[in-house]
């Protein structure tokens, strides 16, 4: 049972310095993306699915969606056969679904280390870290605005995390770098501090173009390869803004992947019911994915669904709740019927601290993510306080739990060794299996083991200061950052990337909003 | 959507004092047991199930099981057609399964408050609290030996917990009461401080008989009703001891239900593989349930599976792990094929504290319990430190999370109101659902809401002292115990129970081991 890609990197050109760098690099183990050998859990029956699909077509045909400040997009839709009324686009029944058919059901996102490339779609699950928090928190310093230094640390932690396949995107917002330049530093951080696949900028079409340009440098020409998966949020309900659509257009034209994702707090941006929300999610995704295919047939896309419930007392979004699970399971079924890769779930929680609330909510969400057939799980570690905060401790706590998903997804081996009839005969009634041959041969790989949790005898634990999970996680963060060694990058490429960033930064004044 | 039984108790005889007691009683809401409207998750395919079933028959026929110090049991087995060799019982293929057929697939456990009676089996899930810990822990006092006062508090908390259907059994071991007398106090506690169903004593056949006798008093004669579900552990591997079998015999003869449950730390009491463990679990349950039917055809039983993985570094049992999930899902499939109610899962964790580790592990286990088709979940709240400790804070934390299981199990409503097409038309692109009619009509019941977790704005939370989940839970324990009011019990019955306990206690010297 080998579930990990071999950690050694291949040598690439670069002369003596590169070879020396390679020789001293720490070997970092990264598990292969999850290939499920288990069924999906399906909460909706055929009748329910058909109702939702019919209703979504009704939404598109009769209510329509808005493409705001995007005359080009409206023109594309008009040519495709939609009815345009101001910025409203009404899409005849079946048209959007038909257009979606040219989107691939699975695609490869190439990493600069080819052993870290991921296959997105099918029965696979690729795990990426938290995205977007303006704040960070750690046990020592509490909650504060995120900086570029924090960003680099999260990229390093992601690189060092065995069960994480993807370096992610905006692992936190580096608020100390001007808004119009921070994407350059973030991209350079992912490109130079990690060799896992990553995400591009979406905050302006020009920044998406910068992302593509920098990838051209990093990959020494793209040759049609998909090397980024980027996050295009829909302004739910049913609104597509020109910034996000502009970024989508840049990526689609360059054959780079986008997650097209409704962003919904239930009861606010969608109806306060599971069936109504699923209808809206499907309508929005159909319109968004269809639009990506109007820009370029065959552009790789992922059906996204970011949906939380709401606490109607406080108005706060709530996480790890049963209704969010219903929606996540249902949207997975809709994605598979549409033949698209699916993005949802994550280490979601509303708690302010990485405490028990955070862990209950997160575990609920991670488990549903695995069983609902998610193919790309953004936010799979580090999420805190409704996504406002990236937590260092929670990052390593969640990243450790991701190991349970890998092991559960393997399914149950039924080969002769696993049947263990020899062991049952050898030990018999009243015996003990610890010493038997079968146990000796299998115990090392039989059970998943946390690299973080406390499994010590009570007395040892008490003697060592009664440490809780946060305390263990703080120590682990420190250890991982201490052990971190930068993966090799061709110095010529590194110099060209630095040059690109410097030149771009010098070309415009700083902007902080 | 009413998911709770009406809280008001019926009047029963007892005169003015009883009526006065009833008038002042606080109305305590208890949810009806879960009736699943969702499918089960099935991790094993047909071929795997058949292999395990065939192998289990091989274990019974060729290896056999031991019935220790039980000449009567051996004689019963001999008459039934098994081959007896010393204490070893070899059961011909098919015989145990055939004998199991007379066990009911579902049965009613009657509570003294008929609105709290539960139906065990089918698509139902009944939730009961932690069982067995010799220690208790709370945030203030730390970890210490449990006392009868602690026991009473847990029974009160269970009575006050909306999502808990069952009062349980040994919610903690009252170590300040002699071993040979504590069952009397525990039973009286469940009978007088709660009106939910409960479990009987199993530590000696005579104590099982005391349990039946006290129930005769409480229920004013049993008339064949099942009023207790008790826990009969198998000494895995494949050993049935005379104490547990003696208790089983008492209960079976009185038509009281037993959970017949292998108790397995994987790699120690069973092979270190999922398929091997499932084989052993099935063989043990087949033998145990068949034996119950030899004692009395039709005796209500539950197929149990208490299985944890092991950390081979420390030897500690581990919880919430993927292999434990595989076994729990698989055993559920085997139980359904056998036509028996199924007991497994719980608020399992290895952590010493009710921290994030405890919550991750617990949530993993609770979720798998729901999706694996468990019908009776013992340990569904309060479990800490591998079951050594009953935690007050974790009791209310877990009990709150049990609400998510209720709401998820409802499945997805697809009626016209849930489809919300009117709301989608009313709000349209770019609008907001908070104020729309559909939201106003549905928001109160749309989303599950924790009664414990923090959903407050960051600033409020900070001003209130940055409380974590344990701190919130401590306050909730205090509040619930403060609000507690004893449910009415006929004073004549109460006096008779007290008399029974006193007389029994006076009939024997104290024993502390």
Encode B192-249 in three state secondary structure. HHCCCCECCCCCCHHHHHHHHHHHHHHCCCCCCCCCEEEEEEEECCCEECHHHHHHHH
Q: What is the DSSP code (8-state) at residue B270?
A: B
Weakly modelled stretches of chain B, pLDDT under 50: 1-14, 20, 23
Distance CA A423, CA A417 (A): 9
B282 touches chain A (CB under 8 A): no
Size of chain A, expressed as the number of residues it contains: 513
pLDDT tens digits, A24-74: 555 589 999 999 999 999 999 999 999 999 999 999 999 999 999 999 999
Q: Cα separations (Å) of A508 from A47, A181, A498, B176?
A: 56, 9, 16, 77
B421 with A276: Cβ contact below 8 A: yes
Helices and strands (DSSP H and E) totals, chain B: 18, 21
Residue A81, Cβ density class (10 Å: 0-12 exposed, 13-18 middle, ≥19 buried) = exposed
Partnered with residue A35 across adjacent β-strands are A124
Q: What is the DSSP code (8-state) at residue A447?
A: S
A360 with B442: Cβ contact below 8 A: no
A333 touches chain B (CB under 8 A): no
Best B352, B401, B432, B433 residue to mutate vs chain A (most A CBs within 10 Å): B433
Instruction: Give the contacts of B472 (CB within 8 A, at least 6 positions apart).
Output: B452, B453, B454
B351 with A453: Cβ contact below 8 A: yes
CB atoms within 10 A of CB B77: 25
Q: Which pLDDT belongs to residue B3?
A: 41
B513 touches chain A (CB under 8 A): no
Structure tokens at A177: 């770098």
Show which of residues 465-504 on chain B sit within 8 Å of chain A, judged by CB atoms. Answer: 466, 468-470
Owner of token pair 């959007």 = A96
Instruction: Indicate left, alpha or beta for A25 from its phi (over 0: left) and psi (-120 to 50: alpha).
Output: beta
> Which among A178, A133, A163 has a CA at the least distance from the CA of A151?
A133
What is the distance in angstroms between the Cα of B235 and the nearest Cα belonging to chain A? 7
Peptide bond into B237 cis (omega under 30): yes
Show which of residues 342-371 on chain B sit within 8 Å of chain A, judged by CB atoms. Answer: 350-364, 367-368, 371
Distance CA A103, CA B350 (A): 46
Chain B residues with CB under 8 Å of A416 CB are none
B162 touches chain A (CB under 8 A): no
Distance CA A281, CA B180 (A): 62
A276 touches chain B (CB under 8 A): yes
Chain B residues with CB under 8 Å of A47 CB are 414
Distance CA A383, CA A317 (A): 14
Given the DSSP bridges, would you call strands B135-138 and B389-391 parallel, antiparallel or unpaired? parallel
How many CB pairs below 8 A link A and B?
A: 397
B442 with A325: Cβ contact below 8 A: no
Cα B403 from chain centroid?
15
Q: Give me the phi and psi of B133, to 5 degrees please.
A: -65, 130
Question: Could you read off the pLDDT tens digit of each residue along chain A, which spans 513 residues?
Answer: 334 444 433 344 445 555 555 545 555 899 999 999 999 999 999 999 999 999 999 999 999 999 999 999 999 999 999 999 999 999 999 999 999 999 999 999 999 999 999 999 999 999 999 999 999 999 999 999 999 999 999 999 999 999 999 999 999 999 999 999 999 999 999 999 999 999 999 999 999 999 999 999 999 999 999 999 999 999 999 999 999 999 999 999 999 999 999 999 999 999 999 999 999 999 999 999 999 999 999 999 999 999 999 998 888 999 999 999 999 999 999 999 999 999 999 999 999 999 999 999 999 999 999 999 999 999 999 999 999 999 999 999 999 999 999 999 999 999 999 999 999 999 999 999 999 999 999 998 899 999 999 999 999 999 999 999 999 999 999 999 999 999 999 999 999 999 999 999 999 999 987
Distance CA B469, CA B357 (A): 13
Chain A residues with CB under 8 Å of B3 CB are none
Asked whether A291 and B436 are in contact (CB, 8 A), the reply is no
Instruction: Indicate left, alpha or beta for B251 from its phi (over 0: left) and psi (-120 to 50: alpha).
Output: alpha
pLDDT tens digits, B228-271: 999 999 999 999 999 999 999 999 999 999 999 999 999 999 99
Question: Helices B322-338 and A392-409 sit at what angle, rounded to 10 degrees?
Answer: 40
Owner of token pair 């009961």 = B128
Q: Which helix (H) or strand (E) holds B283?
A: helix B274-295
pTM for the model: 0.95
CA angle B316, B321, B326 (to 5 degrees): 120
* Core vs surface per residue A113-152: b (16+ CB within 10 A) or e: beebbbbbbebbbbbbbbbbbebbbbbeeebeebbbebbb
pLDDT tens digits, B122-180: 999 999 999 999 999 999 999 999 999 999 999 999 999 999 999 999 999 999 999 99
Asked whether A130 and A381 are in contact (CB, 8 A), the reply is yes
A62 touches chain B (CB under 8 A): yes
pLDDT tens digits, A199-211: 999 999 999 999 9
Show which of residues 406-435 on chain B sit within 8 Å of chain A, judged by CB atoms. Answer: 406-408, 410-414, 417-421, 423-425, 427-434
- Considering only the beta carbons, identify the residue of A350, A407, A450 that sits closest to B323: A407
């Amino acid at each position: 049972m080998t579930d990990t890609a071999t950690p050694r990197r291949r040598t690439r050109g670069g002369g003596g310095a590169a070879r020396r760098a390679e020789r001293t690099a720490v070997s970092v183990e990264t598990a292969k993306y999850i290939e499920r050998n288990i069924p999906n859990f399906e909460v909706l029956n055929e009748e329910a699915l058909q109702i939702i699909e019919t209703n979504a077509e009704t939404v598109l045909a009769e209510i329509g969606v808005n493409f705001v400040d995007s005359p080009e997009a409206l023109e594309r839709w008009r040519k495709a056969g939609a009815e345009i009324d101001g910025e409203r686009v009404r899409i005849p029944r079946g048209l959007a679904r038909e257009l979606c058919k040219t989107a691939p059901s699975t695609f490869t996102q190439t990493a600069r280390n080819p052993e870290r490339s991921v296959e997105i779609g099918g029965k696979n699950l690729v795990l990426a870290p938290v995205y977007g928090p303006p704040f960070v928190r750690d046990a020592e310093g509490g909650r504060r605005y995120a900086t570029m230094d924090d960003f680099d640390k999260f990229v390093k932690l992601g690189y060092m995390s065995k069960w994480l396949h993807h370096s992610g995107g905006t692992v936190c917002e580096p608020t100390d770098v001007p808004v119009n330049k921070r994407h350059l530093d973030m991209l350079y951080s992912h490109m130079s501090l990690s060799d896992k696949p990553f995400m591009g900028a979406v905050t302006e079409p020009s920044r998406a173009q910068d992302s593509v340009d920098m990838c051209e440098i990093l990959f020494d020409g793209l040759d049609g390869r998909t090397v980024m998966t980027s996050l295009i949020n829909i302004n739910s309900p049913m609104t597509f803004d020109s910034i996000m659509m502009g970024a989508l257009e840049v990526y689609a034209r360059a054959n780079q992947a986008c997650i097209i994702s409704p962003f919904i707090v239930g009861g606010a941006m969608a109806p306060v019911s599971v069936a109504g929300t699923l209808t809206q999610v499907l309508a929005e995704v159909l319109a968004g994915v269809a639009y990506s295919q109007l820009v370029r047939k065959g552009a790789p896309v992922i059906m996204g669904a970011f949906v939380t419930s709401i606490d109607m007392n406080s108005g706060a979004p709530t996480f790890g709740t049963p209704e969010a699970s219903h929606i996540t399971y249902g949207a997975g079924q809709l994605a598979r019927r549409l033949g698209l890769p699916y993005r949802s779930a994550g280490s979601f929680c509303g708690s302010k601290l990485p405490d028990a609330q955070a862990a209950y909510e997160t575990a609920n969400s991670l488990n549903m993510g695995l069983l609902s057939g998610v193919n790309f799980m953004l936010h799979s570690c580090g999420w805190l306080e409704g996504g406002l905060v990236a937590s260092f401790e929670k990052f390593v706590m969640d990243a450790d739990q991701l190991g349970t998903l890998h092991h559960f997804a393997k399914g149950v081996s039924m080969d002769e060794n696993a049947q263990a009839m020899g062991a049952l005969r050898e030990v018999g009634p009243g015996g003990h299996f610890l010493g038997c041959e079968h146990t000796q041969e299998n115990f090392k790989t039989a059970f998943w083991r946390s690299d973080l949790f406390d499994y010590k005898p009570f007395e040892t634990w008490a003697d060592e200061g009664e440490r809780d999970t946060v305390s263990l996680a703080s120590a682990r963060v420190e250890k991982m950052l201490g052990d971190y060694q930068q993966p090799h990058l061709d110095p010529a490429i590194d110099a060209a990337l630095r040059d690109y960033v410097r030149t771009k930064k010098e070309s415009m004044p700083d902007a902080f909003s």
